[in-house]
Amino acid sequence: MPDFAFFNKQFMPLSEAKVGIMTHALHYGTACFEGIRGNWNSEEGQMYLFRIKDHYQRLQKSCHILKINLPYSVDKLCQLTVELVERNGYQEDIYVRPMAYKSSQTVGVRLHYLEDDFFIFVTPFGPYLDIGKGARCCVSTWRRIDDNMIPPRAKVTGLYVNSALAKTEAWENGFDEAILLTQEGHVSEGSGENVFLVLQGNLVTPSSTDNILMGITRDTVIKLAKNELGVDTIERPVDRSELYIAEECFLTGTAAHVTPVIEIDHRKVGNGKAGEITKKLQQLYFDVIRGKSSKYLDWCTPAYRSKLVA
């Protein structure tokens, strides 16, 4: 069975969904995207799409910033995604990639007088970082792009050059992930994750004005920490040296889930193993995203009308 994509306003085999080499977004990074996880629940034979509505609401905001006309409502986007996931019928964890982009086949740097288009594809997707052992991180020599350069609260493709430079530098230097600082030297985020610290028993994370993507996993963890562990999260500027003295540190993201950070710049975090609060949040989060927690089922959209048995 071929993989399907949604492209040019219709479902078609993924192999036939192609853009031309003159496509504006390819040249100038003028596209907005989302990454949505489908989490396979083998006991139920069901694929749960996590917080899909929130992802599409964020895509709408990104498109508004980039002057991209997204011709579908959030409800319609959710419906199209569910249909696409069902057509593909995977029985493993997946990643859904919707993208709205400047599709004109033309040369010229601008946002105006251009056509827009939209596609979605689905691909199998396992763990992104080692969620069991944890990640060894470095503070990047690359600084996070500022809101006045390319707004990081918009998930714009062009912005990811900043992330890619940091990620590859980290990897070439033997680390798993990079943590980027703002121009002012405050902690911003990982190349594709938000950062949390445990400091004197409190959860601390960079605030919305520190050039972060307002992560949906970040929001999930803030809510789970409050509701289930009674731990509040303080959103504030975070110094680099606080990374070194934190009792615990972890990264959050659709790809990374909740990944413990066990080392930063060759300094152990805590005892060099995943911390207690991190482990509790990780467990809660994994139950929630696979539809195993009735309290948070509203966040999980089942994609399959009838149960699929592996």
Which range of residues in 9-17, 71-79, 210-218, 228-236 is near ligand PLP by CB under 6 A?
210-218
Residue pair 141/167 in contact (Cβ under 8 Å)? The answer is: no
Scan residues 259-288 and list those touching ligand PLP (CB under 6 A). none
Q: What is the dihedral of CA 101, 105, 108, 112, to 10 degrees?
A: -50
How far apart are CB 154 and ligand PLP at their closest, in Å? 11
Residue pair 221/281 in contact (Cβ under 8 Å)? The answer is: yes
Buried b (16+ CB within 10 A) or exposed e, 187-223: bbbbbbbbbbbbeeeebbbbeeebbbbebbbbebbbe
194, 211, 278, 301: residue in contact with ligand PLP (rule CB under 6 A): 194
* Residue 193 binds ligand PLP, judged by CB under 6 A: yes
Scan residues 215-254 and list those touching ligand PLP (CB under 6 A). 215-218, 252-254
Scan residues 152-191 and list those touching ligand PLP (CB under 6 A). 163, 189
SS3 state of residue 209: coil
Question: Residue 111 has which token pair?
Answer: 């946002």
Q: Which residues are catalytic?
A: 155
Scan residues 9-68 and list those touching ligand PLP (CB under 6 A). 35
Residue 211 DSSP label: S
How far apart are CB 6 and ligand PLP at their closest, in Å? 20
Q: How far apart are CA 118 and CA 53, in angstroms?
A: 17
**Angle of the 216-229 helix axis to the 276-289 helix axis, nearest 10:** 110
Which range of residues in 38-46, 134-142, 208-216, 228-236 is near ligand PLP by CB under 6 A?
208-216
Number of residues that bind ligand PLP (CB under 6 A): 14
Give the count of alpha carbons within 13 A of 31, CB side only: 23
Place of tokens 């504006």: 24
How far apart are CB 111 and ligand PLP at their closest, in Å? 21
How far apart are CB 105 and ligand PLP at their closest, in Å? 28
* Residue 117 binds ligand PLP, judged by CB under 6 A: no
Nearer to ligand PLP, 103 or 252 (CB): 252
Question: Residue 87 has which token pair?
Answer: 């057509």
* Residue 211 binds ligand PLP, judged by CB under 6 A: no
* Residue 210 binds ligand PLP, judged by CB under 6 A: no
Residues within the interface to ligand PLP (CB under 6 A): 35, 163, 189, 192-194, 213, 215-218, 252-254
